Amino acid sequence: MSTRVRTAVCIAATTCLACGQPTTDAPASRVGMVPSEGLVISNARVLDGTGGVLEGATLVVRDGRIQSIGPAAADAPGALQLDATGLTVMPGLIDGHRHIISGDADAWLENEAPDRMREFLETGFTTVLSAIDDEDGILELRRRVAEGELTGPRIVAAAIAPVSRPAPGGGARGGGDPARGDQRAPRRGGALAIPPEETRARIQQIADRGFDAVKVVLAVTPDGPEQETLALLVEEADRLGLMTITHAVSVEDTLAAVAAGTTMLVHTPHVGQLTLEQAATVGGSGIPMTSTLGVFVPFFNDDNEPIFRDAQPYPWNNLLSAGQGPVNARLLWEAGTVYGFGTDTTFHPRETLAHELTSLHVTFSPRDLVSILTRNTAAAIGRSEDLGVLEAGRIADVLVVEGDPASDIYDVLDVALVIKDGQIVVDNGQVR
């Protein structure tokens, strides 16, 4: 990870917030605007998230939602008129697996939250799923954003629940960051079961606190209780209206999570090569998955040293199978899996977006990736009715970029304008 790049972006964001202006010379009056008569973006290339492309199209936003989208000029007297000639309009991006808060949550909320939230918006992310952060901190962050005290992406929040207790000498390998351990080695000993009443009580507690999802880190052990406990957990979560999102990085764990009926898989299996039959099992289950391929591909620091997502040296001796991730991803895509986008990092959103796209681009085309970043991730996090696609009636989360991401996916990094809930939240001056 480039400390130099992160520092430069953070300084820019801090300067922006300190002076109340966007990070460019764009008209300050447009940032924060929610035009009472609506907003019209005309002459745009529109990628609607479903694979559709409209040239020279007009998008009309009113009352926080898309009113219309089509090839003709719109009659919207009094609306703010924006000309997107030469630019591309697409749905706001969604990160379906992210860790947001670093260090002490209270200090982070006080000192860092505005800058970090601004970084997400400046990268084009209008929705982020927190797949484990400090529980009190993430609920407070979600509240501040939802109530308008803080400008940032909407937050979908998960809390963790265990599915076993490790027996002495048993469990997954690696220690510390669970992603560091390659789980190809035989797992020793069976884990200890959690009493069903404890699982039910934990899911009830998560629901009572107002979380959106339950997260499980699944590493099945020989004759262990993990799959059975996960099935009970899923049943309770479903009853209480919660998603169940399961971390499973091996083929073995992924198949166990599917058998237990998890709502969502938040990793592409990279330990083990899927057979076509196994891919068909996952695809036929209807359970969506987010990518997080970049977690297992090294970042590089300023000294050109390969590092892992925790900024420590890359564990080459453990992560021997990372290259299988992109191949498994494509097999799952071909088998019908709804495959979305997730980074599973705490690094700067723009750097992790570029890093994840590099990993995904090994087996996916730019047109595939537009849908992965938008519609598919909205479906994976249970928000497909409102997010991920540009069409009448949906929430107006809109990203305007230079270039054409359907031809060159890295054009998605050239952000011109971001709209969330019909409000302009980022304006870099390219839209007239």
Asked if 429 and 330 sit in the same domain, the reply is no
What's the CA gap between 230 and 263, in Å, rounded? Answer: 11
Q: Which of 232, 268, 233 is nearest to 249 (CA)?
A: 268
Cα-Cα-Cα-Cα dihedral sign, residues 322, 358, 407, 384 = positive
The crossing angle, in degrees rounded to 10, of helices 349-360 and 3-19 is 130
Answer yes or no: are the C-beta atoms of 122 and 412 closer than 8 Å.
no
Q: What are 423's two structure tokens?
A: 């409000």
Number of structural domains found in the chain: 2
301, part of any domain: yes
297, part of any domain: yes
Answer yes or no: are the C-beta atoms of 264 and 287 closer than 8 Å.
yes
Q: What are 298's two structure tokens?
A: 């090294």
What's the CA gap between 418 and 89, in Å, rounded? Answer: 10
217, part of any domain: yes
Asked if 184 and 77 sit in the same domain, the reply is no
| Backbone φ and ψ of 200, nearest 5° | -60, -40
Asked if 138 and 61 sit in the same domain, the reply is no
9, part of any domain: no
Range of 315's domain? 93-387
Cβ count within 10 A of residue 37 = 11
Asked if 126 and 83 sit in the same domain, the reply is no
* Chain centroid offset of residue 311 CA: 20
Instruction: Collapse the DSSP code of 366 into the 3-class scheme (helix H, G, I; strand E, B; otherwise coil) and give the result.
Output: helix
Cβ count within 10 A of residue 186 = 7
Answer yes or no: are the C-beta atoms of 40 and 398 closer than 8 Å.
no
CATH number, domain with residue 308? 3.20.20.140
Cβ count within 10 A of residue 270 = 28
Asked if 212 and 333 sit in the same domain, the reply is yes
Asked if 249 and 314 sit in the same domain, the reply is yes
| Backbone φ and ψ of 139, nearest 5° | -65, -40
410, part of any domain: yes
pLDDT at 169: 56
Asked if 377 and 405 sit in the same domain, the reply is no
Asked if 99 and 62 sit in the same domain, the reply is no
Q: What are 54's two structure tokens?
A: 């409209």
Asked if 44 and 193 sit in the same domain, the reply is no
Strands 65-70 and 53-62: antiparallel
CATH number, domain with residue 56? 2.30.40.10
7, part of any domain: no
What's the CA gap between 348 and 411, in Å, rounded? Answer: 18
Q: What are 403's two structure tokens?
A: 């270039």
Q: What are 331's two structure tokens?
A: 């097999």
In the DSSP assignment, the letter for residue 218 is -
What's the CA gap between 152 and 313, in Å, rounded? Answer: 32
Furthest CA-CA distance within the chain: 71
Asked if 371 and 429 sit in the same domain, the reply is no
Asked if 375 and 420 sit in the same domain, the reply is no
4, part of any domain: no
Predicted TM-score (pTM) of the model is 0.89
**Tens-of-pLDDT digits for all 432 residues of the chain?**
433 333 333 333 333 333 334 444 444 457 766 666 789 999 999 999 999 899 999 999 999 999 999 887 667 778 888 999 999 999 999 999 999 999 999 999 999 999 999 999 999 999 999 999 999 999 999 999 999 999 999 999 999 999 998 776 554 444 467 677 766 666 666 789 999 999 999 999 999 999 999 999 999 988 899 999 999 999 999 999 999 999 999 999 999 999 999 999 999 999 889 999 999 999 999 999 999 999 888 888 899 999 988 888 998 877 777 788 999 999 999 999 999 999 998 899 999 999 999 999 999 999 999 999 999 999 999 999 999 999 999 999 999 999 999 999 999 999 999 999 999 999 998 888
291, part of any domain: yes
Cα-Cα-Cα-Cα dihedral sign, residues 346, 347, 352, 353 = positive
Asked if 77 and 87 sit in the same domain, the reply is yes
